[in-house]
Amino acid sequence: MLHAQTTPPVRVDTHAHVFHPDLPMVASRRYTPAYPASVDAYLALLDRHQLSHGILIQPSFLGTDNGYMLAAIAAAWPRLRGVAVIDEQATLANLNLLAQAGIVGIRFNLVGAPLPDLHTPAWQALLSHMATLGWQVALHGNAPQLLPLMPPLLAQGLNVVIDHFGRPQYFDALVQDHAYHQLLEMAEAAGTVWLKLSGLYRISPDPAEQFTFNSTIMPLLLRHLGPERLLWGSDWPHTQHETQVDYAATMAQLFDWLPDEGQRQTVLGASAQALFHL
């Protein structure tokens, strides 16, 4: 008797990087990796942790040359998607080619970088085309950096993803971070903003601070966004924190943040599935 095959549930790691130390890197980089993070190693981790899909994020030290990431997506298609880095010199044709290769958005890493002027004609044209492609714009920075960028992105009808919790500035007194509360209120009102539960160690490596943070911020995030607009990302290979955290530890954190299984499954599955075109 033949048994129908069941399709594994969609469970997505929405934040990981692949790279090789021999690749050309931008002169302005803040970090230079001395080891490879290969697509094969990443896929093995997805398998081990029963995750169906992964989202690759272009590392900032590789600049706008997305080639290595695109090759990784092609090698594992349709399991992977990507978020690219571009500048305002990109053309609409460039965006179309990236979309055909599995790219579903772009990212602005604002840590140590100036804010882009998204009101220029070049950026306005690119953002408008991204909206027609159903893309997202991922933002990595703190609330004072993100707040000025939200209105021009939302005005174009784009989905916005806030990386690494939005890097709140006060662990032990989150109530004092007024800009962060303003960011969450804007995200809630928009209805098209997602936030990644990822990279907590990038905000503070102190376990005591992380515990306080968890008990303070998770009710806040659930109240403003609900599990339907939260995402989880491993941030593999945890650059600059490789000796402090591993993939299994980041998965365990998700259970701490969301002990409710239904909420975890929403974050890992339905919340990510439509956003990343899976």
* Inter-CA distances, 208 with 23, 101, 204, 234, Å: 38, 43, 10, 21
- Taking residues 15-25, what's their average pLDDT? 97
- Taking residues 69-77, what's their average pLDDT? 99
Residue 131 has pLDDT above 60, yes or no: yes
pLDDT at 171: 64
Angle, in degrees to the nearest 10, between helices 261-268 and 247-257? 130
The domains of the chain, with CATH numbers, are 12-19+34-275 (3.20.20.140)
Cα–Cα dist 192/253, whole Å: 25
Task: Give pLDDT tens digits for 240-249.
Answer: 999 989 999 9
- Taking residues 54-80, what's their average pLDDT? 98
Task: Give pLDDT tens digits for 206-240.
Answer: 777 777 777 888 999 999 999 999 999 999 999 99
Nearest CA among 72, 80, 87 for reference residue 26: 87
